[in-house]
Chains A and B, each alone.
Chain A
Amino acid sequence: LAKTTQPISMDSYEGQEVNITCSHNNIATNDYITWYQQFPSQGPRFIIQGYKTKVTNEVASLFIPADRKSSTLSLPRVSLSDTAVYYCLVGGHGSSNTGKLIFGQGTTLQVKP
């Protein structure tokens, strides 16, 4: 499974756009890129997923360049409640077509007033 590298921490202010970049040089052809958000003492929450180019939903946008060796999660106009740990995951399906999520350290985003 492809390993991911992302910054340990980031700071931002309310109302700003935040971009978190993740490197995944060994991404395989069948791999998808998925981002999760986790608040303290809670389970991670799915944010967005993509395979290539750009994906946008009501929460975030995901930009994936043509070589797919990196991806950028974009959070528009963050608020204090966006303070959390953000995980970038890359993977496909296992031997029985079941997704296997390998979590790294994640990026701790601190949003300040």
Chain B
Amino acid sequence: ETGVTQTPRHLVMGMTNKKSLKCEQHLGHNAMYWYKQSAKKPLELMFVYSLEERVENNSVPSRFSPECPNSSHLFLHLHTLQPEDSALYLCASSQDTGVVSPLEQYFGPGTRLTVT
């Protein structure tokens, strides 16, 4: 248990569906992240939020839409996905010191997404 929870743990959706992934951190951190991990590929950083402001969008297609309503919650809204978007989606959080980030991030268990 890392203090970062993700729901749902598994999701199957069609290409025309709209769904949302939820992440919640109980660590008092001020930065949150979305990563994508496809089969046999490295983790890819998708979005970074610091103090509820998006500071990084790593060339992610617009069919992925993040939302960070407060420092404890992060959502990833999904619509008109493609089968190649099937992957493990991981949320993480960290404490941004404002001086030098220690790069110590706490990851949730992930949501296994299958697009049919």
Binding site for B on A (CB under 8 A): 30, 32, 34, 41-46, 49, 89, 91-106
Contact = CB atoms under 8 A, between A and B. Distances in A.
Interface in B39-64: 42-45, 48, 50, 53, 55-56
Indicate the size class of the contact surface on chain B: 20 to 34
Nearest to B104: A46
A95 B54 CA distance: 11
Contacts of B88: 41
A93 B100 contact: yes
A34 B104 CA distance: 8
Interface of B: 2, 4, 31, 33, 42-45, 48, 50, 53, 55-56, 88, 90-92, 94, 96-110, 112
A46 B101 CA distance: 14
A97 B43 contact: no
B55 A103 contact: no
Contact of B109 (A43, A49, A95, A102): A43
Nearest to B110: A43
Contacts of B107: 42-45
A100 B47 CA distance: 10
A106 B42 contact: yes
Highest count of chain B CB atoms <10 Å: which of A49, A100, A104, A106: A100
A99 B2 CA distance: 18
B50 A98 contact: yes
A100 B98 contact: no
Contacts of A105: 42
Contacts of B112: 41
B48 A46 contact: no
Given A46-B104, A89-B103, A98 B110 contact: no
Contacts of A99: 31, 94, 96, 101-105
B55 A98 contact: yes
Highest count of chain B CB atoms <10 Å: which of A92, A93, A97, A99: A99
11 contacts: A32-B100, A43-B109, A45-B107, A91-B103, A92-B100, A93-B101, A96-B53, A97-B97, A98-B31, A98-B50, A101-B45
